[in-house]
Chain A
Amino acid sequence: MNEFAELVGNSGPVTVAGGKTRWHVGGDVHPEAREVRAPVGVVSYDPAEMTVRVNAGTSTTELTSVLAESGQRCALPERGGTVGGSLAVGENHVEVLGRGWLTTSVLQVTYISAEGKIVRGGGPTVKNVSGFDLPRLIVGSLGTLGLIGEVILRTNPIPPQSQWFESNDADPFSVTSQVLRPSAVLWNGASTRVLLEGHELDVAASLRSLSEIGAWNEVQGGFDLPKHRWSLTPTQLNTCTGTFVASVAVGTVWRDEPQPAHALPPSVIDISKRLKSNFDPTGRLNPGRSVF
């Protein structure tokens, strides 16, 4: 961490690069910004505690395989890139209903401030309300408030059984009232794919309930997702047309074209501006990028 802090320093525009899988989200970084990388590697992992301490530069693929060796997983999306990059962007796993929300999975975050200081928020335990919730602020902030160096994430056991099913005739919006806790319900306008997870007998029972609303076949995974992510309310999904994949009960929709930007309310922008200027008074962290 000390090395990373020195690398970031306390002056001049600076940006941190992860896997660059979402490099253009939030706008392009000023070309003069010095590019640094966060430290890599899993720092410590105690499966019995269901937490992992990991450096931000670690690839999500590496983390996923380390956790899998102990029969666990986490809420980070598995689409390449680094842990820090995924947290900075803040996108949830497509199986968010089963994996949990990204923000609630971050227990502690250590980042380098605009002044080059090491700052820590949150705490190492699975439950904690000690002080204001800096981890929430940093997740999804695109590195505009601090550059993530290390995090402690909550992990979860990989369920004994995990199976996707597809139906061409079931009403996607009836799925969540048929089965208790589906891990994902995806709909592309023509068919519905549902991920059922848990004990083998539970998955079988859920499938029986699903059969009441349609015919289902086993499939190998969810749909291929179009490039752009839209954020809607779950009740807006039934208006989707064209080429899309919608995450039912969540509200995320993947499309070929980006969601039209719409401005945040002025009062939200006021708070956001104050946050940015309080955390990064000279605007040196990821200049050019903004979340508001």
Chain B
Amino acid sequence: MTTSDEALLADLRRVLGDRVRADSAERALLRRDASVFEGGSAGPTCLCESTEEVQQVVQIALAHDRAIVPRGAGTGLAGGAIPLGSPVVVSLSRMNRILEVDTEARIAWVEPGVVNLDLTKYLTPLGYHFAPDPSSQQVCTIGGNVGNNSGGPHCLAYGVTNAHILAIEVVLADGGVVTLGGLNAEPAGYDLRGVFVGGEGMLGITTKVAVRITPNPPAVRTLLLSFDTPRDAATTVSAVIAAGIVPAAMEVMDQRITIAVENYVNVGYPRDAGAVLLAEVDGLPDGVEIDAKRIAEIGREHGATDVRQAQSDEERMLLWKGRKTAFGAVAQIAPNYYLHDTVVPRSKLADTLEEVYRIADEYDLAVVNVFHAGDGNLHPLLLFNGQEPGIYDRVHAAGAKIVEASLAAGGVLSGEHGIGVEKQPYMHQMFSDDDLDHQERLRHAFDPACRSNPGKVIPVGHSCADIQSLRATPEGVWG
């Protein structure tokens, strides 16, 4: 039984006062995240400031028979944080304190709303950083990183978020609080902490996290290699890995995005290259020198027309600035973009990339590629003007083809953005009914009543019964 919004609001306000937002502007805003998807109408949004408040909000939502949706910065690209039906939105962005940093044990306890880059900035003077560095790190939160098991350029050598999380305090969908994992070497029991990371808000709400902090390497070399074609850049990447070198990062940008970045921030990328590879090695000075030289050689063997090594920290930062502002630069070329995220075996990168260009041609769409090449993680951006009639259908169809091509190459649906609502329809292409059934069983162990972020990840038909009704609510997912 759903009681009226007024009664729900009154209960929430008793706990949070004016930190409950329910005006229509706010609700409209929260129907979306950074993806192209649009949810139903966000119920009241609760700006929680403590674990206890989160608990109380969850209990109130439960009493009013409302689902909950945890939300960080809303930069997710798979629609993970959008409301389906009219759930209570639990915003964690105000829980943004760094609680404790222990450089000896190399851990930091943080609240989930801490912005990724803020943590690293805080750690810099201590000689440490938080290794996962999504391109959105200036805004996205640690809670969101945990929710999506996010990656970033430097996750090639350091591993994605899951490798950097030791313990998580969670408010479960029934209002209980539990700490998963621990600071000891091999916590007893099932690896609930490991399972929770990447749970997309469907296993509970993160209210506190113990993260591993990583010492800053004494030596870093950053190379910018230019190629005539994206194929040459991609084959260089797989050749580097095959040579037994694991660089800290290997990022590829094709010509179109390179030019867009140059126009936008002017960092000195070559405008005439068909693609560039930004490669970074870090560690001790001697080894770094050896690896950098070897990467340059391998690049030349695979058609690099120019190899430039950053000569100073400033130059290095500039090269990275270009990569990190790539998505902002896209706005210069098209009013809208749809960023895809699939992974293929590294040896299939070049072929799949060509297939992506072909698909874009077929659907008469512009595409640019800027991606975590070292992991085989493709990020084709389909560019379009949302005003054009029927355009979303074309973008959607091209996207489906890209996913199909990636799976056919032996790849997976998502490397770091998650499934959310975006990739839900494709889950059957990667998993059997039995596989999905087991993912659902896992979910039910954390949230038997499907209260937390219902309607995501697991495709309709496999999910809790109430999903059908949730699904009816969104006013056209293609906003």
Contacts and interface: CB of A to CB of B under 8 A. Distances in A.
A92 to B, nearest CB: 7
B184 A136 contact: no
Interface stretch (A27-35, A55-63, A213-221, A228-236): A228-236
Given A125-B415, A232-B184, A274-B444, A291 B190 contact: yes
Given A125-B411, A145-B190, A250-B185, 18 more contacts: A46-B347, A48-B241, A104-B163, A125-B412, A131-B457, A132-B439, A133-B149, A180-B218, A181-B283, A235-B102, A235-B104, A251-B184, A251-B186, A265-B178, A267-B172, A271-B192, A279-B438, A292-B188
Interface of A: 46-51, 71-72, 90-92, 100-101, 103-104, 113, 117-121, 123-134, 136-137, 139-141, 145-146, 156-157, 173, 180-181, 198-199, 201-202, 205-206, 229, 231-236, 247, 249-252, 264-265, 267-268, 270-272, 274-275, 278-279, 291-292
Nearest to A247: B185
B414 A129 contact: yes
B344 interface: yes
A157 B438 CA distance: 34
Nearest to B343: A125
Interface of B: 102, 104-106, 148-149, 151, 155, 159-160, 162-163, 172, 176-180, 182-192, 194-195, 197-199, 203, 215, 217-218, 238, 241-242, 244-246, 283-287, 290-291, 343-347, 372, 375-377, 410-419, 423, 427, 430-432, 434-439, 441-446, 448, 457-458
B57 to A, nearest CB: 18
A231 B435 contact: no
Contact of A139 (B177, B191, B198, B245): B191
Contact of A199 (B177, B287, B375, B419): B287
Contacts of B414: 128-130
B160 A127 contact: yes
A249 B246 CA distance: 23
A128 B189 contact: no
Given A48-B241, A231-B186, A268 B192 contact: yes
A205 B457 contact: no
A140 B283 contact: no
Contacts of A274: 444-446, 448
Contact of B442 (A91, A250, A251, A275): A275
Contacts of A232: 184-185
B198 A132 contact: yes
A265 B169 CA distance: 13
Contacts of A113: 434, 438
A72 B238 CA distance: 16
Contacts of A132: 195, 198-199, 203, 439, 442-443, 457
A102 to B, nearest CB: 9
A137 B185 contact: no
Most chain B CB within 10 A, of A47, A104, A130, A291, is at: A130
The 9 closest A-B pairs by CB, nearest first: A251-B185, A136-B194, A201-B286, A157-B244, A48-B242, A123-B412, A199-B287, A267-B178, A278-B441
Contact of A127 (B151, B180, B445, B448): B151
A264 to B, nearest CB: 5
Nearest to B432: A120
Given A141-B190, A199-B286, A247-B185, A123 B238 contact: no
B434 to A, nearest CB: 5
B246 A121 contact: no
Contacts of B345: 46, 49, 51, 124-125
A72 B242 CA distance: 11
A179 B155 CA distance: 21
Contacts of A71: 244
Nearest to B345: A49
Contacts of A247: 185
Nearest to A278: B441
Contacts of A50: 241
A91 B186 contact: yes
B163 to A, nearest CB: 5
Contacts of A91: 186
Contacts of A264: 188-189
Contacts of B432: 118-120
Nearest to B377: A127
Contact of A136 (B177, B195, B286, B418): B195
Given A48-B346, A49-B345, A278 B444 contact: yes
A117 B435 CA distance: 9
A47 B283 CA distance: 23
A267 B246 CA distance: 40
A21 B285 CA distance: 42
10 contacts: A48-B346, A72-B244, A103-B194, A119-B434, A128-B414, A129-B418, A131-B458, A231-B188, A235-B102, A291-B190
Contact of A180 (B241, B284, B344, B427): B284
A102 B63 CA distance: 42
A48 B434 CA distance: 32
Most chain A CB within 10 A, of B183, B187, B412, B430, is at: B412
A137 B198 CA distance: 13
